[in-house]
Amino acid sequence: MKAVVIRRYGGAEVLQYEDVEQPKIEPTQLLIKVRASSVNPIDWKIRQGMLSLITGSKFPKILGFDVAGEVVEVGSGVTRFKPGDGIYGSTSFPGGGYAEFAAIPENLAALKPTNLNYEEAAAVPLAALTALQALRDQGNIQRGQNVLINGAAGGVGIFAVQIAKALGAQVTGVSSTKNLDLVKSLGADRVIDYTQQDFAEDTAQYDIIFDAVGKRSLSQTKRVLKPNGIYITTLPSPEVLLESVLTAFLPGQKAKFLFEKPNTKDLLFLKELIEAGKIRVVIDRTYPLQELAAAHAYSETGRAVGKIAIAVSS
């Protein structure tokens, strides 16, 4: 099969499109004919070697956490899927989605939303699960709360705005000037243009601040956070790690960070919201698998609006 592999850590140039052996599945896995994948910042952070203490030095590696495609084979212990099913989901760490076939654990997959094509479905798992688990699990979001999403037009932010609205919150989205209309169209009740205003100097106060781009900290935002408010980030900097430890044992404001945990139950929850029209997918660009290096390079600019999809096979 064709896949994009890396044989060392480095820049986008280490991504090589070549022939590799098709994966063999274990009893609890599905073999998927991958129709599409997507790019998430963790993919190129792994490629750069930023997580090498976790990912190790064994090569070659196939990256890519998001997949959407068709089941071609099921393991002997699989009970929820059959060949021919259209699914979306996540690969095991550190990836495997940038390939024509991928082995996916049954408990990390779900039937794909019926109203999405494969490229749209592949843009959902990691980013939308991150948004859902941050707001629902870490933030304990409640109907009527005021929630601010920093990075509202980014890959995680587009889902966070819509999920917060679907869960009944009043949402303020922070983005650049050119993306304000998009953020409004996703359901934000209010928008802040970060090129004109620092949200941390806002007059409003929020129950939850979800920093979907990992640019701030609790100490920088506490003035606009309610006394028992929660600051959540996707990027646990040393400052945020310290704040999370300190605030865990004290009353008042909390700092939390999130490591996304893919699972079927949450994918099915997202599927319901998508099929009900409460979440739509925003794709900035789509690249063929053989142009993955260009897709990674574009993601690294930080200018992508929504998700970057990867078309793997027709």
- 207, part of any domain: yes
Please write the tens of the pLDDT for every residue from 5-54: 999 999 999 999 999 999 999 999 999 999 999 999 999 999 999 999 99
**pLDDT at residue 19 in the model:** 97
Residue 265 domain flag = no
Same domain for 164 and 101 = no
Q: Cα separation of 211 and 216, whole Å?
A: 7
Q: Reply yes or no on whether the pLDDT at 314 is more than 80.
A: no
pLDDT of residue 298: 98
Q: Residue 112 pLDDT > 80, yes or no?
A: yes
Residue 43 in tokens: 């993919």
| Amino acid 181: pLDDT | 98
Rounded to 5 degrees, what are φ and ψ at 116? -115, 145
Number of helical H runs and strand E runs in the chain: 10, 15
Do 191 and 213 belong together in one domain?
yes
Residues of 137-155 as b/e, b for ≥16 C-beta within 10 angstroms? ebbebeeebbbbbbbbbbb
pLDDT digits (tens, 9 = 90+) for 283-305: 999 999 999 999 999 999 999 99
Q: Residue 246: pLDDT band by 50, 70, 90 thresholds? A: confident
180, part of any domain: yes
273 is a domain residue? no
263 assigned to some structural domain? no
User: Which residues 6+ apart lie within 8 Å of 198 measured at CB?
Assistant: none
Tell whether 9 and 119 lie within a shared domain.
yes
Do 306 and 209 fall within a single domain? Answer: no
Give the strand pairing for 86-90 and 101-105: unpaired
Together in a domain, 105 and 19: yes
Distances (CA, A) of 300 to 37, 39, 42, 85, 133: 17, 10, 11, 34, 24
- Same domain, yes or no, for 171 and 97? no
- 230 and 303 share a domain? no
pTM comes to: 0.96
Residues 80 and 150 occupy one common structural domain? no
Q: Do 189 and 142 belong to one domain?
A: yes
Q: Are residues 133 and 236 in the same domain?
A: yes
Query: Alpha-carbon Rg of the chain, whole angstroms?
Result: 19
Would residue 271 count as lying in a domain?
no
CA atoms in the 13 A half-sphere facing the CB of 174: 22
CATH number, domain with residue 166? 3.40.50.720
CATH code at 306? 3.90.180.10
Number of domains in the chain: 2
In a domain, 270, yes or no: no
Distances (CA, A) of 202 to 148, 171, 206, 211, 238: 11, 14, 10, 15, 26
CA distance 103 to 96: 8
Which residue type, as a one-letter code, is found at position 120?
A: E
Judged by average pLDDT, the poorest of 47-56, 77-86, 147-156, 183-192 is: 47-56
Q: What percent of the chain has pLDDT over 70?
A: 100
Whether 139 has a pLDDT exceeding 90, the answer reads: yes
Let me know whether 185 and 66 are in one domain.
no
**Do 162 and 99 share a domain, yes or no?**
no
Confidence class for position 71, pLDDT limits 50, 70, 90: very high
Containing structural domain, residue 235: 127-257
On whether residue 293 sits in a domain, the answer given is yes
